[in-house]
Structure 1
Amino acid sequence: MNDQSLELEDELYEHLRVDVPKGQELLRIDKFLMHFVPNTTRNKIQQAANNGDIYVNDVPVKSNYKVKPFDVVRVLLPHPPFENRIDPENIPLDIVYEDDSLLVINKPAGLVVHPGHGNYTGTLVNALAYHFQNLPLNSSERPGLVHRIDKNTSGLLVIAKTDAAMAHLARQFEFKTSEREYVAMVWGNVKEDEGTIEGNIARHVKDRMQMAVFADPNIGKPAVTHYKVLERFGYVTLVSCILETGRTHQIRVHMKHIGHTLFNDERYGGNLILKGTTFAKYKQFVENCFKITPRQALHAKTLGFTHPVTGEMMRFDTELPDDMKLLIEKWRTYATARADESEEE
């Protein structure tokens, strides 16, 4: 399986987390971590900091950073901290379709797809291990997974039940013959009715928790997103995004790159009021919208692929989840009210 499907090499795994106690005196972080990381040297800790793998309050720091009380220190590295052991967990699954070769799942927002980043239990993979026996392993030894979506993105995923299905479906994602459409709410009025975003995606040079678009063709991996406006609400726009490639955070990064960060996408700054007025009533309205959809407003709505056994083209479509439906309705009502006020003036 290659990078078009799972993008596994872009992951960071939490190896250590330390909540700095109230009485901690100022101390260089390389000295501080010597007390918590077993079988290591100060030089190795310094190297990890130089590589951008040591974070304080989710911001990468150098080895001369001085920890202070209540800091949250995390060491994140691009390989698992231990050999993955998947414990079966009885987590309900919303199965849209199932046969002997595969199943299609509608994943709710908030459910992590696989262990990592400090989420070693309570994931979709743990649920799959409970509900299904002997699922095929992908190249990272994760049962059933052909592709993935972010924790706070909802929507459709196809899961392979046999080795043959795993190989066949992975090739479809690799050679761009699968179909994937997402619906997103983004900040700003997207002027063009439709367009294509192209730009290599790689990890951000300063914040390795983010991805970024790079003009240099030698950096990152090519990514292509086609978008189409579905509805405009003035300060925000509802768009459809169709993926040609499957890079980490692709829609979130590409839409931000063209100036339209996803609504309430905390990782990329969409949880701030990026467009609109300074009126207190508007600010309260947006904050209420954030509460309605406490995540990036992104849903993997449709999924299409060729069945690995029958050769039939299969397409699945889901309704938007309730939180996004309510969010859209609130913005539609707000936009209509603004239009009526303008006509009265």
Structure 2
Amino acid sequence: MQFSFTNDNDGSMVKALLHRHSVSRRLLAKIKFDGGKIYVNGLEQNAIFRMKIGDVVTITVPNEPDNEALIPTEIPLNILFEDAHYLVVAKPAGMPSITGSLHPTGAMSNAVKGYILRQHYENQTVHIITRLDRDTSGIMFFAKHRYAHALMSPESKYHETIEKRYFALVNDDGKLPDTDEINLPIGRRDDSIILRQVRLDGAAKEARTTYRTVKKVNKLALLDLTLHTGRTHQIRVHLSHLGYPLVGDELYGGNHDLMTRQALHCHYLEFHHPFTDKTVKIDLDLPDDMKQLIDTEKSF
């Protein structure tokens, strides 16, 4: 694949211009050593070549080979958005985002790998931008090549444009505010490598969540939450800390009386597309298990 950039800084090195456009050192090394090319005004140059204002740099990024360690599967994908650079899919509850040493198959990464192979795409590597807990359903965001992935990394300005919103169900006791901002730091529990908690002892990272109440029915509240930071189990920890664990979330104080998994669903993704300069907005309906709880006439 080829990408071009116009220099606006007299005397700038090629590598400095590329860095300003989120071409990482790692990607630059791939270009240099794995068959890529760098051109300035159509002539091949190296990364330390100094340019004039208006010079055009074009990079040829080598295709990415198959990762043989990731096993492809034939799991069908519910594709919500796709172009040459990004892929957005719906993950069902109960499916992990990535594989582990004990579970090398059955993850969304396996399913996306299978899809990539079936489509015969030039780039065969799976790049995950956003992931979800195994029992959380909803939108997952993938990049289709390494430069698209780099542009959505935390170091890139485009990462700040990513907005994710979630639906969650909690028990309604009439005391939870209809809207709120939860700004409480989250860190690991000292007795677990999995569990997180709100920590005010300095051993935690900033975590901010806002929400609004969408609907109250059957002694349940359906919340629409926005993540402003991306801490592990952030929504689950914040709501549990307030005394409102998610329905079905036994890990953080809920129970399985109504659902056998935490009632959490990523329903909205928005990002500014770095290649088209347009804002992409994607919505996904509630899954059936959560929908049934708020549509039924039964009182709980």
Instruction: Provide the identity percentage.
Output: 36
1:303 is aligned to: 269
- Tell whether 2:295 aligns with 1:325: no
SS in structure 1 opposite 2:114? helix
Q: Helix, strand or coil: the match of 1:127?
A: helix
What is the match of residue 220 of structure 1?
204
- CA-CA distance at 1:198 after TM superposition: 1.1
- TM-score normalised according to structure 1 size: 0.61
Residue 270, structure 1, aligned to residue 254, structure 2? yes
Q: Which residue of 2 aligns with 1:89?
A: 73
User: Is 1:157 the counterpart of 2:140 in the alignment?
Assistant: yes
Instruction: Name the CA distance, whole Å, in 1 between partners of 2:238 and 2:122.
Output: 37
Match of 1:144 among 114, 117, 127: 127
Give the alignment of 1:192-341 within 5 angstroms. Answer: 192-216=177-201, 218-233=202-217, 235-271=219-255, 287=257, 289-290=258-259, 294-330=260-296, 333-334=298-299
User: C-alpha offsets along residues 176-203 of structure 1, whole Å, 9 cap, x if unaligned?
Assistant: 3211110000134353110111111111
Matches within 5 A, 1:55-94: 85-94=69-78
Contact (CA 8 Å) 2:218, 2:299: kept in 1 or not? no
User: Which residue is 1:74 aligned to?
Assistant: none
What is the DSSP-based 3-state SS (H/G/I as helix, E as strand, rest coil) of the residue aligned with 2:72?
coil
The total of aligned residue pairs comes to 228
Q: Once the 2 structures are TM-superposed, how far is the Cα of residue 135 of structure 1 from its aligned partner?
A: 4.7
Partner of 1:334, secondary structure, is: coil
SS at match of 2:135: coil
Q: 1:176 matched to which residue of 2?
A: 160
Query: Per-residue deviation at 1:175?
Result: 5.0
In structure 2, the CA distance between the partners of 1:334 and 1:302, relative to structure 1 (3 Å rule), is same
1:109 aligns with 2:93: yes
Higher helix share: 1
2: CA distance, partners of 1:97 / 1:121: 24
CA contact (8 A) 2:136 2:264 kept: yes
Indicate if the aligned counterparts of 2:210 and 2:227 stay in contact, CA closer than 8 A. Answer: yes
Root-mean-square deviation (CA, aligned residues, Å) is 2.3
CA contact (8 A) 2:171 2:244 kept: yes
Letter in 2 for 1:99: D
C-alpha distance in 2 between matches for 1:177 and 1:317: 16
Amino acid at match of 1:224: R
Q: CA deviation at 1:91?
A: 1.3
TM-score by length of 2: 0.70
Give the Cα separation in 2 of the matches to 1:257 and 1:186.
Answer: 13
CA distance in 1, matches of 2:169, 2:210: 15
Q: Provide structure 2 residue ranges, at least 5 long, that are not aligned to the other structure.
A: 1-66
1:235, CA displacement in angstroms? 3.8
Deviations 1:56-76 (A, max 9, x none): xxxxxxxxxxxxxxxxxxxxx
1:203 is matched by which residue type in structure 2? R
Alpha-carbon shift at residue 333 of structure 1 (Å) = 4.3
